Amino acid sequence: MKDIRPLEQTLSENLSWHKARIKFVAAFVLSLVAVKNVNLVEIATSFSGKAKQDSNYKRLQRFFRFFELPYAEVADFVVKLLGVEGPWELALDRTNWKFGKLDINILMLGIVHQGIAYPVVWLMLPKAGNSDTAERITLLEIFIKLFGKERIKLLIGDREFVGKQWLTWLRDQGLDFRMRIHENYQIANARGKLVPAWRLFAQTRVNTPLLIAEPRRMWGDEWSFSGCYLGKGEYLIIVTPELAETAVEDYARRWEIETLFAALKTRGFCLEQTHLSDPERLSKLVALLALTFCWCHKIGEWLHEKKPLKLKKHERKPKSIFRRGFDHLRRIITNFTDFNTDQWKQVIKLLVCA
């Protein structure tokens, strides 16, 4: 790797952090891409500069232990890199794994964009299992405080993000949503009798959505429902605050946050291999991953505009936009025998916010 000062300069123009922190972040991002792993011992081996590996490791530890990261600036930088004014479709999801006997549990909100979600707000849950209503509300309130309610087009979530109090709060806030519900929830049929939700869609063909024209009662309140039979005894049933003809199609984009988690974990940075367990330190790590992920995705978008990849026989890209950008950046910074200065300058330009 050659001179990283252009990267430091670009970051300093977009983040109002102390110079020493900017230098650290620049070195961390490049080391992360080079080693493809969040393990601090691994990152310390490729940290730029003349310091020994042990010194780099202690520097990494000090950052995660003492530096107060301004998450609002990170979220703002992510949105600027996204380059889309909104209003946005937001995906809500959770990822978790075990570190020894400890449960690592992250609740995240991402902006759906080009087949993936850009991470903007997250919470470290101090427990195993699903989030509760208060935690979800806290996450949304943080987002609204940062960007405003008017920037939310709709919220998409899976079956674990349902419940009367939660859905009522969303509707009271004037927020549109697409939430999948469990098949056995009791919903009023055309005669007003409560029946399992799946019965309303029992006559639909496989993957053929049905929109119920009239609101139906659930938990004592009226909601709108769409859904279809998925085959093998499984149903997809979506609840919305108002009639929504594209509810099933909209819900399908929830998968984009799953694609993000894959990029942060096994298909990119191996987040689950971190030895950090303290919630605040882990949250700082996620923030640095968010910045790195967004840069790689921007590079992938740029490469795709220059030369789209041919689809395979199954009509899928041979490589995701993120992975294409990630591999391109890694190739640049690890090519010691033939470092391409022009390519290096170009990928840095993609970090400049509009």
Bridge partner list, 107 = 94, 123
Cα dihedral 14, 18, 23, 25 sign:
negative
For the chain, helix (H) and strand (E) counts, in that order, are 12, 11
Instruction: Please give the Cα distance from 40 to 56 (Å, whole number).
Output: 9
DSSP 70-94: -HHHHHHHHHHHHT--S-EEEEEEE
The pLDDT tens digits of the residues spanning 64-110 come to 999 989 999 999 999 999 988 889 999 999 999 988 888 999 999 99
Q: Tell me the one-letter amino acid at 132.
A: D
**Average pLDDT per block of 10 residues along the chain, 354 residues long:** 83 90 94 94 86 91 93 94 92 92 94 94 93 97 97 97 97 98 96 96 94 96 97 96 97 96 93 92 97 96 88 64 95 86 92 73
Stated pTM of the model: 0.93
Q: Is the separation of the CB atoms in 142 and 100 below 8 Å?
A: no
